[in-house]
Amino acid sequence: MTILCLHGSYGSASVQLAPFIDAMEKSSRVKFRWIDGSHRAVPPPGFENYFGQPPLYRFVAFDGVKALDDVLSRIRELPQGITPEDTIRSLVKEQQPYSPRTLQSALDRLFQIMDEDPEIDGILGYSEGATVAATLILEESRRLQEEGRPRRIKYGIFFAGWPPVRLQGDHIQALLADEAENAIDVPTCHVIGCKDPYIHGAMALYSMCDEDTALLFDHGKGHTVPRDARTIRELAEAVETTWQRFMAGENRPGQRRILLLTNVERGEANIFLATCHALLHREPNIELHFATFKGLEESITSVWETARLNLPQVKPIVFHQIKGLSMADGLRHFFANRESEIPLEDDYLPKSFLKPLRLSSTKRAIHDSIPIFVPYEGPRLAEIFSSIVDIIKKVEADLVVVDTLMTAALTACYHLGIKFICLSPNAIKEFAAPLQPRAASLWKYPTTPVDLLRNRPADLKILVSTLPELDFPSILPSHVFPCGPILRNSTPISEANPSLAAWLSRGPTVYVNLGSLCRIAEDRAVELAASLKIAFEAAAGEPGFHKLQVLWKLKKLGKYNTAAGSRIYEVLGREIENDRVRIVNWVEAEPIAILQSGHVMCSIHHGGANSYNEAIVAGVPHVVLPQWTDCYDYAQRVELLGIGRLGNRTTKPQWSVKELSCELCEVLLGRCSETMRQKAKDLANVCRARGNGAENAARIILHECEGNKPEVPLSLGLQSLNEC
């Protein structure tokens, strides 16, 4: 193990860190290799006696005296922002004291040194050296992704320092944690001084590192290197911890084995696929096993292949097929044998689900919904249960991650008494109702089949695909961990479907997608088309909306078409001919990619958890047409948060032209429309600030594997935002 050591600006190997290295080498098995910067440097006026005896060096040359003077002047009077990132933005502004050419030259030299010394596996830097070191780590990551060059630097030690930078063509960009997505993902030790006038620079660097493996050591002094024996001894222990974290990652391939158990239906399976992707990226050595029913094999393989593009060392995800009928097939079989008891609408859903909401129809719908959660008779349930038990015993995972709606899997985990954690596409409310004050679960929140988890094991954790800011105001139980919306990674629309991206860019777009399960009969489709027609007419005279267009993903119930001569064409024929309305049964792009195109002004959806979360993350207002059970909850959340409207308040689960067109026009053009758009963007920013939901879930799952207590420092405050 050899650490490449980089001194600070106006320094040298013999001036700045020698006392620390001398002490470390006496007690450590690690070798330190010092190099001097390649550019001789003369301290500016006022700093002649600050840096020590010459010769002094820099790693990156400044391009011009004026640029250097400007930066030093601002450093002398470093502006203190609210956050370290604000401070750095104020310091850097648009100034580039050195060019991409000089930075690239410095990085090329370091790569050459590493190529010549195969023992180098870590890096240490002080001040400017820390910035160059952090930049080198990220450049290694980029070269791995784009060129397949293996990474050499496995850990970093930073004394003071500033955030890393990135080459952007002919521009150099300072990377800040509240703007950049690519964090430093190797174990790091950050040595700071609480009295350092430039501590914001060091903390901005710390924030760019993986919070699980970044260690912060405060020596209590200023912009200096500790020299007293006690501090150096304590610092040596901190650095040793960083090495141990590196070694633990190197020496445990295959030790952590996780089994994921989920239904095959997309509403549940998608969050497991997204979490798989995050787990592979967070810990490439992990061994993942994925158990579900037949039909998800290609998607599972795709997750691995996508991860392998950036991390060639990741292992394939092992697929285990669960024997028996899937949830959807079980329902079809169940209903087919009980048609006299539960009448169906065209072999689709119980008729009670599609009737207007009244006490009698609601009671009937509750009765008819019970099979959805346990859609099997005894022998079929026993077959699935036995298959899952066999898989669990075969895999011998360190941790099992279970779908909260998969009764057979939950039963198997309870029966075997194994260590497991739950992952749910649902929100906090479903798991928090029993803890609400004033017996709110009896009147404020309806009982759901997930309440079977009231008898959960004492240490069971439930990860949910939401945030407190996106849910009803409630007490958050200690066993429920809001991760943020868990969505699958998607290819940008410009790459996934360039022609559709070009079409979307022509004008503001309404995106209609009522989910994978909701099929629409022709009469209802015509009502929706007529509502869209009224929106077109209302938008014609509005600035910025005269080019309004609609992308409608339509799943039909029954046989009908939308071509010339059809009832829908009679309503929207002119818009279809002018290519302002596209009605399709399939889109070669993920919904989130369409919503994040920047051109969608409203998402009309059925109130499913994924549809809600996709619009939330994209910052797009909603019009919700709830169809069943939890869809009504998400419609209420939309209005509570002030980010859209319920489109069928008086006719749900049906809709009428008069009501839907009114609500759609309100979201697009009404007096509150701009407020809704701003609130939707604000919530998207909240999600961005809290971090990717799948990555948060992966972090908690890995913590649970190690028996650690996960920390989710989320704000629990939530207020109604429906006032304009």
Active site residues: 127
CA–CA distance, 424 with 98 (Å, rounded to integer): 49
Handedness of CA 111, 115, 116, 117 (dihedral sign): positive
Q: Are 335 and 368 in contact (CB under 8 A)?
A: no
The helix/strand/coil state of 106 is: helix
Residues 6 or more apart whose Cβ sits within 8 Å of residue 223: 127, 160, 193, 196, 197, 198
Q: How far apart are the first and last CA of the chain?
A: 61
DSSP string, 128-166: HHHHHHHHHHHHHHHHHHHH-PPP---EEEEES----EE
For residue 600, CA distances in Å to 257, 484, 551 come to: 41, 22, 9
DSSP-based helix, strand, coil % in the chain, nearest 5: 45, 15, 40
Tokens of 182: 């690519």
Q: Are 409 and 689 in contact (CB under 8 A)?
A: no
CA–CA distance, 178 with 689 (Å, rounded to integer): 7
CB atoms within 10 A of CB 509: 26
For residue 638, CA distances in Å to 339, 494, 646 come to: 35, 29, 8
For the chain, how many helices (H) and strands (E)?
A: 25, 25
Residues 6 or more apart whose Cβ sits within 8 Å of residue 294: 264, 321, 326
Q: Point out which residues pair with 390 in neighbouring strands.
A: none
For residue 552, CA distances in Å to 344, 403, 513, 590, 615 come to: 26, 31, 6, 14, 15
